[in-house]
Amino acid sequence: MWQALANGYAAEICARQGFDWLLLDVEHSPNTLQTLLAQAQAIAPFPVEVIARVPFGEPVALKQYLDMGLHTLLVPMVDTAEHARAMVRACRYPPHGIRGVSSATSRGANFGSDANYLHEANDKVTLIVQIESTTGLANIAEIAAVEGVDALFIGPSDLAASMGHLGQPTHPAVVEAIATAKAAIDGAGKPAGIFAVNPEHARQSIAAGFRFVSVGTDIGLLISGAQKVLGEVRGQG
Ligand code: 3PY
Ligand code: MG
């Protein structure tokens, strides 16, 4: 479930519903680090995986999220293997990367009480890169082969836009491109994920072998719930 309301209450409510994972989206939602933290804290008691989508693929953003204890990151708009390698380095302490060190003040390291954190942190990270452009598609095999890229996630809306089909993520050409991308990810032996644009698309994606599939957004749930109750009361439902 995609958390776009940027709100700890909404995240807690969704965390109680039994989804496998929640994605805290900062790329397209009005989040600050503080609202992101509030959501992370709200859902921490629940058995749900948390993925955080950084607003852009720059090392500083990744460092702040990791320090906050958000160890599973989705990086949007990764178009090249070089960018993917830079994201891997951003997630790792030297000598394997460039992540800055401040474990005593970081939630990820239990505020310094996790004595092994510095030595185990690189292994705690799950880095997911998002393929959502024709350039990313052209380079997908090379990106998928990057060591430290743990999974790849398809963004159908941006992919459609990049292909000249803005607003048509289910255009046949986009569907075909997604199948090609999925085959390349499979070829690298890595898990493929996708943003499903509706429940039917989610079912089809799971049947096609996508391993992690969004099934909706908190905003969508609120809108459909509001429309349902209005329809029922006004007799249009
Ligand atoms: C896309 O479809 O472009 C995404 O990034 C999914 O949110
Ligand atoms: Mg996108």
How confident is the model over 141-186, as pLDDT tens digits?
999 999 999 999 999 999 999 999 999 999 999 999 999 999 999 9
Mutate to test the pocket of ligand 1, among 158, 171, 210 (most ligand atoms within 8 A of CB): 158
Q: How far apart are CA 196 and CA 193, in angstroms?
A: 9
| Cβ < 5 A residues, ion ligand 2 | 132, 155, 158
For the chain, the structural domain boundaries read 2-233
Query: Cβ < 6 Å from ligand 1: which residues?
Result: 76, 132, 155-158, 195
Confidence of residue 237 (pLDDT cuts 50, 70, 90): low
CATH number of 2-233: 3.20.20.60
**pLDDT value at position 126?**
98
- Ranges of beta strands (E only) in 69-189 are 72-75, 126-131, 151-154
| pLDDT for 75 beyond 90 | yes
Instruction: Pick the closest to residue 133 from 190, 172, 181 (CA basis).
Output: 181
